Amino acid sequence: MERLNNNIPHGTSVPDVVSIVDEMVIDVWTKLTWDEQFYTHAALLDAVKTCVMDYVQAIYDKLVTEDFYGAKKNLGINEK
């Protein structure tokens, strides 16, 4: 899959992940016919929801394994 907007540097922040998911959805959606778009809308929403929820769960799991309220640690997550 080629990147639609080469000006966006992708990282691990939430806006970066949203941008990646957006590009994936646009890439898949534009390859479908109108009928396929109509009938796959719910499935596409479920796929996006699953992708976002898996990302949120991964971040949560990472925070749980770290001593979040203890000493300051580098979690490898970019804050914007």
pLDDT score at 1: 43
pTM score above 0.85: no
Which residue do the tokens 């009938």 mark? 39
pLDDT at 9: 54
Which tokens in the block code for residue 69?
């309220």
Alpha carbon distance 44, 49 (integer Å): 9
80 residues of the chain, pLDDT tens digit each: 444 555 555 555 667 777 777 777 777 777 878 777 777 777 777 877 888 888 888 888 887 776 666 555 566 666 55
Domain boundaries, the chain: 14-75
Residue 76 CA to residue 59 CA, distance in Å, equals 10
Q: What is the pLDDT of residue 2?
A: 47
The confidence score (pLDDT) of residue 35 equals 77
